[in-house]
Structure 1
Amino acid sequence: MKAAIDKIAYNQILDQAITQIREARIWIAQQINRSSNTIYWNLGKWLFEKKLEEAHGSSIVKQLSIDLRNEFPDMGLSPRNLWNMKRFYQRYHQADTKLQQSVAVLPWRHNLLLLQKVKEDVEVAFYKINTPTLQNILTHTAFACHRSTNPLLCRFSMAMS
């Protein structure tokens, strides 16, 4: 005997399923980002602790990159990215724990943008909370929205750009 289901009940089931799948995907992406960023953090820490600088440690970092890429060719372990990992560690190793946890779940490309474009931890926290996409980080940075006394005006300016 088949049970009949009305359109409203069906839509509720569908909406719940979609919501759960989306939430799970976000959670999975954050876990992947957190794991990747932990690896990047540790690599950056090791470079920092060995006091390697781009001018004097470049041959060591180049060789490290070659060896790591031979073992893990799909991880983006170029010399440039290894130096970025060091900068990532330098930037946040003395930061507030909440800020460290915030950047830990961001995609690596967002962290790189924040390293390039944003100088203060307060700004990083603002962009982490208020900008879900890479494009928004660039736009917000251009408008210095973290300093705006009128967030509506800032959003309007961004919308008009």
Structure 2
Amino acid sequence: MASPHDDLEPAGYAELLTDLKARVRATQFHAARAANTEVLRLYWSIGHDILERQRTAGWGSKVVDRLASDLQREFPDQRGWSRRNLLYMRTFALTWPDAGFVQQPVAQLPWGHVTVLLSRLKTTDDRDWYAERSAVEGWSRGMLEYHIKLDLRRALGAAPTDFAGALDAADSELAQAMVKDPYVFEHLGLVRTRAEREVEQALMDRLQDTMLELGRGMAFVGRQVRLTVPDDESDAVDEFFVDLLFFHVEQLRYVVVELKVGKFEPAHLGQLGTYVAIVDDQYRRHEIHAPTVGILLCTGRSGAVVRYSLASTNAPVAVADLQGLPDEARGALPSVAELQAVVADELEQRS
């Protein structure tokens, strides 16, 4: 006869179940990563062998066609044996000629990501840089293509700033690495009117996309954040409103973002500098917080005017172009259906 206590959860059961779930998921993750590394080892070895025989035995390109046909016949249930894929394997081995590539970030990426690096980029240095960013930030294949199309590597740290003079050396380098030029928001291409509030609304409507473009580590604090400054000579209070306020969780600093539609004017930096000073005074309450910085995003600027304006301000601020993704660039991005097909292919290859 069953005990009335059989259905009761024994002491410690919930903790054990939670631990087992975590261990199973961790094992699944490590198994998937190990399987992915073995696939890359295989593809690298095939590419390496093709290269060696072309160098030493004078094999021509038609041999690759024959290999593709024979491998497809031998392994009809497996994908990946097309002529194009074999040529990717050859380029893979040519780009990373040492089998020790498994210790590099590229070894952490699925093969679909690797083919993007090989087809979209020309130098090993660029391929290594985007491989590392993709591995660290967990980019999808579509996101990797997006960042390559927008030339993220050249954009990062490119915004003109006065950080070197307004911050200490170590903090200046951190802040500079946080900004880029231009900021390209795909969703702004859909905004018909160019009023600042319309742009601001578009950025808020797709806040996640906005934060991805602003960079890793940004946490949203508020929109049209009200700042108050008491008048020392009366009971009046001056009010200011920050367009967008963020907190960088890795650098532990507030980031004031102001939007300006139209040509850059020196007065814009005066306004932004005031907001940065107020936020720094009223929000930066802990010693571990780094100094507040400001980013002015505008739709038109002159390099010379920006340089002179930055030289005349003491607040740590940056100026960058604000752009919507051009139609031709948007057309080059993979569609939802294409992304779904890529995911299905990668799942099938791993199964």
Distance 1:24 1:141 in 2: 32
Residue in structure 2 matched with residue 128 of structure 1 by the alignment: 135
Distance 1:46 1:101 in 2: 21
Matched, 1:110 2:165: no
Distance 1:64 1:134 in 2: 28
Residue in structure 1 matched with residue 49 of structure 2 by the alignment: 46
Cα displacement (A) at 1:152: 6.3
Alignment size in residue pairs: 156
Change (3 A) 1:117 1:19: farther
Tell me: higher relative CO, structure 1 or 2? Use CA pairs within 8 A at least 6 residues apart. Answer: 1
Counterpart selection for 1:71 from 71, 74, 79: 74
Cα displacement (A) at 1:89: 0.6
Distance 1:142 1:60 in 2: 33
Matched, 1:32 2:87: no
Q: Which runs of 4+ in 1 moved over 4 A?
A: 6-9, 97-100, 152-155
Counterpart selection for 2:145 from 115, 138, 152: 138
Unaligned runs of 5+ in 1: none
Cα displacement (A) at 1:5: 3.1
1:134-154 alpha-carbon deviations (Å, 9 max, x no partner)? 222123223433441244666
TM-score w.r.t. length of structure 2: 0.38
Change (3 A) 1:151 1:51: farther
Residue in structure 2 matched with residue 91 of structure 1 by the alignment: 95
Distance 2:141 2:19 in 1: 28
**Higher helix residue share:** 1
Change (3 A) 1:111 1:91: same
Matched, 1:5 2:60: no
Distance 1:76 1:115 in 2: 16
My pick for the range that moved more, 19-28 or 145-154, is 145-154
1:42-63 alpha-carbon deviations (Å, 9 max, x no partner)? 11001111227xxx82321111
Identical columns (%) = 24
SS at match of 1:50: helix
Partner letter of residue 97 of structure 2?
H
**Higher strand residue share:** 2
Unaligned runs of 5+ in 2: 158-176, 184-209, 215-323, 326-351
TM-score w.r.t. length of structure 1: 0.76
Residue in structure 2 matched with residue 20 of structure 1 by the alignment: 23
Distance 1:157 1:130 in 2: 11
Residue in structure 1 matched with residue 160 of structure 2 by the alignment: none
RMSD, matched Cα: 3.2
Equivalent positions of 1:141-156 (< 5 A) are: 141-147=148-154, 148-149=156-157, 150-151=177-178, 156=211
Change (3 A) 1:146 1:16: farther
Cα displacement (A) at 1:86: 0.2
Larger radius of gyration between Structure 1 and Structure 2: 2
